[in-house]
Amino acid sequence: MDRPKERADAARNRQAILAAARKLFAEEGAEAATMERIAAAAGVAKGTLFHRFGSRAGLLHELMAEGAFDLMEAVRSGPPPLGPGAPAGERLLAYFDAMTRLVADDIEISVAYQAIPPHPRAEELHAFWAAHISALLREVRPDLDADVVGGLLLAPLGGDLVPYLVRNGQKDRLFEAVRQLVQSVLDGSA
């Protein structure tokens, strides 16, 4: 994600805040991670946090965008199989592995994010994922309605089952099930 050049102390504060927020969300859940508690954990004043991010929504936008834009860049120009150069089926599996990990590894942030207005660049991200998935599906399975099937493959990652599985220690089961779902579509057995 493109960002203006920061002073060294501002960059350190930003990283400390994001790290503290990630830790609090992971350890205590979406509800317990208040701005006051995040500021204290980061060692900054609450005003600094609000000045930096504007609101809890702004902080959540930043936390979600960081991973999403990193994943977008990896899809565009990273090494295969996630990036260009691998067969379409391998790329699609790698993408869903990475997207599932992005959501599951920060599940409390994902849950909190779903309760706020979308990121200002959410449409751009969603359009990118949809185009990427559809293009790969069209290459492997030209017989499918790639746009709809791609959307159906992605939709469960925003649903209630993902937090349920992750919070109950079933992350590996989630990863395997998503992989099986995508593979079944690639194989034509869905």
Please report, for residues 66, 109, 134, 158, 174, the alpha-carbon distance to residue 61 in angstroms, rounded to integers and kept in the order given: 8, 10, 26, 16, 25
Task: Give the residue with greater pLDDT, 16 vs 1.
Answer: 16
Structure tokens given for 120: 């200002």
DSSP for 52-95? HHSSHHHHHHHHHHHHHHHHHHHHHHSSTTTSTTS-HHHHHHHH
- Average pLDDT along the chain: 93
Q: Average the pLDDT over each of 48-57, 80-89, 93-102 and give the range with the smallest value.
A: 48-57
Entry pTM: 0.88
Give the whole-number percent of the chain exceeding pLDDT 90. Answer: 83
Q: What is the pLDDT of residues 46-57, one digit of tens each?
A: 999 999 999 999
Helix and strand tally (H, E) in the chain? Answer: 10, 0
| pLDDT at residue 7, rounded to an integer | 79
Long-range own/partner contacts, residues 168-172 (CB < 8 A, 24 or more apart): 171/104
Nearest to 63 by CA among 40, 35, 43, 89: 35
Q: What are the structural domains, with CATH classification, of the chain?
A: 1-54 (1.10.10.60), 55-187 (1.10.357.10)
| pLDDT at residue 3, rounded to an integer | 54
Q: What is the pLDDT of residues 153-185, one digit of tens each?
A: 999 999 999 999 999 999 999 999 999 999 999
Is the pLDDT reported for residue 23 higher than 90? yes
Structure tokens given for 111: 């849950």
| pLDDT at residue 29, rounded to an integer | 87
What is the rounded (10 degree) CA torsion for 104, 106, 110, 116?
Answer: 180
Q: What is the pLDDT of residues 141-153, one digit of tens each?
A: 999 999 999 999 9
